[in-house]
Structures are given as structure tokens and as C-alpha cells.
Amino acid sequence: MAQAVATPPTSSTENNPYEQMLRRLRPAAEILQLDEGTYRILATPAKELTVAVPVRMDDGSLQVFTGYRVQHSTTRGPAKGGIRYDLNVSLDEVKALAAWMTWKCAVVNVPFGGAKGGVICDPRTMSQGELERLTRRYTAGILDIIGPDRDIPAPDVNTNEQIMAWFMDTYSMHVRMPQPAVVTGKPIGLGGSRGRRTATGLGVWFVVREALRYRKMEGPVRVVVQGSGNVGGIGAEFLHRNGHKVVGMSDVFAAIHNPKGLDVPKVLEHLGRTRSLEGYPDAERIPHERLLELDCEVLIPAAVENQITSRNADRIKARVIVEGANGPTTAEADRILEQKGVFVVPDILANAGGVTVSYFEWVQDRMAYFWEEEEVNQRLERVMVRSFNDVVATAEKFSTSPRLGAYLLGVERVAYCLRMRGLYA
């Protein structure tokens, strides 16, 4: 099997995602003049849980997987964050992702804290039955710390609405009543929200549009999208639909390039039919690492962490980077991009469309009244545009980058709630 998106070489200090998160948090805390005790609370996960997940496989063997759930903060509300199934899941990765969820929810002013979970496994090699048994046992393992008012999981890497349906059913069986609000990203028939599947990609489009307006970049622009799933693929589709030229895309198997522009609907049709971008006829196959360095105005890394590093940042040609993935740019790369004048819309703003519509789903589940997709998308647009303007205004106020502006905005909102609530003795 082809390797998933290759991570470019990094220095030793760039390898740990949790350390990368802290390297963004510390400057924000210093500018906000937070005391050391408050910083330590913000830097430390509130709760970490590691569980053994024994699963009976189809061949009769018993495999024991390792699962994690980290709650970084519940200061602003119940914890919120996805669950990923991947061989590269680690505790440090989950801790970083949980913290990013805290800042992300605060940036878009959604009343949640941050959490994340994951199981170390390769779902591509597992049957539906094995995935169901894995999901139900993992759910049972973290049952005591989740719930509609405690911690609300959602889909993430290699998980989907079917996984969420099993998750919701398992939790509901344990508490002896239906609890659709325990997870988001569910099928619509089980309390899912219209517009949830496209939410992150649509949110990315809204942010790209606002960034182009802010930078006064008129007319159609060339865009490169790393990734082709619910973030990259859907984001590329909205960009194509609105007249922009998507010249490069990728999935875990292949990266493709056409300087005249890809026919994105045809690319996604090919991907849906063959489950790979390999063999797409109207584009050149290129190495994954070259994709990020293509000539373009806008680059959207929408795959995994640590894709733009100190080793390749100087070769990035894009004038605007919109981070569809979590943590795709290291702190070391940030400095290089800033020196080059690249406008980076950070992940804790750019991909917040997903958690925003997850919040809408949770609200709809709680009141048992569901909105039409048009209303969901209109509400999402208002949140993303307002949040972009808030981040830019904060960055201008402190004469800093959009990333640090987003951290200042999110961290200050969490720190304010922490001050107001005080400490429970």
C-alpha cells in the first residue's frame, strides 16, 4: 500500500506536535501578560485517558489496540473534538489536537472546550465488523468521561458517520436512553445536521474568499490543495465553482498537477470511482513533496500535521496559505513564511467550519428541531466571516501575524473564563 502523505524532513525540535502547540501558546501568553499559573493551566491537559481496546478479529484472533481520549479544557463548556483511527496516533499528537480544539472553539466563539481521541490501528485493513467491535469497545472504555454535557466526540481522520452511529448507539445502550447529542457528525436520520459533511470545506472557502479580499487579490487565482477528502476535496469544489483555478491536488496515493486547471468535479468523480487519484488522465503525476512548491497564489494544506517545515518553507511560492489541516505548518516554518510576506490563515480559524456546524448539530439535537441546509450554511458563513475579521483586527492591534492574532484572541477568551470561574478548592 502506498504510504500516506509523506511528512517532509524536519529538525528534531519540529517533530513533537504538542511542543509545537506550546511554542505558539507561550508568545500569546506573554503578550497578554498572563501570570505563570494561568499559563500552566492553559498548557496542561485537564484529563488524559489511555485505554486498552481488545477486539475479536474475523479470523478468531484477539488483538489489543491502544486508545486515547484527552480533554484539554472545559473552562468554556463541554469538551469537543474528533476521534481518529490511524497507525500514527500518539498521546502527544492527541494532546496537541485537544489543545488546538480549545483555541479553535474560542476563536469562533463556540461554547465548547477542547478534546481529542484516537485509536492506534489501520482501518484500511479491517472489516466493517472489526471496525464496529473496535468502536464499541473503545466507546465503552472512555464512557465515564464523555456525554452531551461533558465531552462530545466527532469524526476525524479515518472515521465517519457510521463510526459515530455505532458510538452513539453504544453510549445510549449504556445509559438506557437515546442520546443523539453525545456525538456529532452522525447520519441525518440519527440526529445529524444538514451541511455537516461539507462544513469544514465550505468554511475553508469562506476564509479563502475573505483572505483574498483582505489582501486585495482580485480575479481568479491559482490554488493548490493538499488533500481531497471532506476538507480538501470539498474546499477545492467550492473554489472551482466560484471561478478559481485549482492547479494541483493530492490524496494518500498520488499528487496531480495541471497548470491550466483541474476539472475538480471530474477529479472527485474519478476519486469516488477508483478510491485514488492514481490514473487520473488529465493531469501530470508529481511527487507529493513537489505539490506544496507549485506556482500558485493560494496553498491549502488539508492533509496532516507537519507538512510545511523549516526544510521546505523557503520553496513555498504561494502568497496566501489557508490551513485546512490541523498543525500543517511548524513554528520554525512560520518564521520563514512571515519573512517572505506570506499571509497564513491558521488552522484554528481556517478549519473551524467543522466544529461550528458540529455545535449547530448539538444544538439541534438538544432542542429536537432541525434546520434546512441553507440556514446551516448561512449561519456558518456569518461565524466564519466574523471570526476572520476578529482575528485580523487582533493581529493588527498587536502588530503581529494572523496566527499569533488567532492565538491571542482564543487564549484571551479562555483565560477570561478561567479568571471569572476561579479555582475550585
Q: How far is CA 329 from CA 58, 299, 360, 407, in A?
A: 40, 12, 29, 15
Of 80, 104, 116, 186, catalytic: 116
Task: State the cell numbers at 75.
Answer: 473552562
Sheet holding 343-345, edge to edge: 284-286, 255-257, 245-250, 222-226, 298-301, 320-322, 343-345
Q: Using alpha carbons only, give the angle 309, 310, 314 rounded to the nearest 5 degrees.
A: 100
Residue 116 is among the residues annotated as catalytic for this protein: yes
Shortest CA distance to 320 belongs to which of 393, 407, 217, 408? 217
Tell how far CA 350 is from the center of its chain. Answer: 9
Tell how far CA 289 is from the center of its chain. Answer: 21
> How far apart (Å, rounded) are the C-alpha atoms in residues 401 and 338?
8
Shortest CA distance to 193 belongs to which of 155, 158, 231? 155
Amino acid type, 389: N
- Active site amino acids: 116
